[in-house]
Amino acid sequence: MKHIYQKGTNENAPTLLLLHGTGGDERDLLPLADMIAPGASVLSVKGNVSENGMPRFFARLAEGVFDEEDLVFRTKELKDFIDNSAVEHGFNRDRVVALGYSNGANIAGSMVYHYEDVLAGAILFHAMVPRRGVDIPALENLPVFVGAGTRDPIIPKSETEELILHLKESGADVTEYWTNGGHELRREEVDEAARWFQNHFVK
């Protein structure tokens, strides 16, 4: 997978896995990494699926309707890529925190839904429920930050609330932060995510 790896200056910080939204690329979220986890190593990945020329991490049948077969395949593809990247770049595989926006948050959520101990934490900005009717692994105290907008035209509030419920029922330690905005990423939720990251991962 096309990616950028930047070794950080803080050896104690986890590696930040950056996952862009639809139409983005591996450079999109680099400024966010500096705001949320300064000094952390960064693995920023570009999605392998193209939708009318727009990079994504998995296919969809319509807006809000995922191609579940492709989602499962791409979720494993991303997990395997992280496993291999840890060997290639020499970072601690057990200390990877995902930071995803929209489509990137959905693939991060899908990894958590399908694989135990795949992440040390996750920041999910404007995410949907990746799959329903599956047994989610035990997420004992997995720290997860969920940022959302109450007026998001793409993701109803009830969808985000269902995602949070699934995570909590599986044992995750979920922090939710709501703005009165839409699907756009707001500075206030980025600042809140930075505080969350400091509290959970910076010694």
Catalytic pick among 3, 89, 183, 200: 183
Tens of pLDDT, residue by residue over 117-137, are 999 999 999 999 999 999 999
Catalytic pick among 41, 102, 110, 114: 102
Q: What is the mean pLDDT of residues 159-175?
A: 97
Rounded Cα distance between 24 and 47, Å, is 9
User: Is residue 89 among the annotated active site residues?
Assistant: no
Rounded Cα distance between 27 and 10, Å, is 21
Q: What is the mean pLDDT of the chain?
A: 95
- Please tell me the predicted confidence (pLDDT) of residue 63: 79
Residues 6+ apart with CB under 8 A from 148: 125, 126, 127, 155, 157, 160, 176, 177, 178, 179
Per-residue pLDDT band at 26 (split at 50, 70, 90): very high
For residue 165, how many other CB atoms are within 10 A of its CB?
Answer: 12
pLDDT for 31 beyond 90: yes
User: Is residue 110 among the annotated active site residues?
Assistant: no
User: Is residue 152 among the annotated active site residues?
Assistant: yes
Tens of pLDDT, residue by residue over 36-70, are 999 999 999 999 999 999 999 999 888 778 999 99
pLDDT for 203 beyond 80: no
pLDDT for 107 beyond 80: yes
Catalytic pick among 20, 44, 152, 166: 152
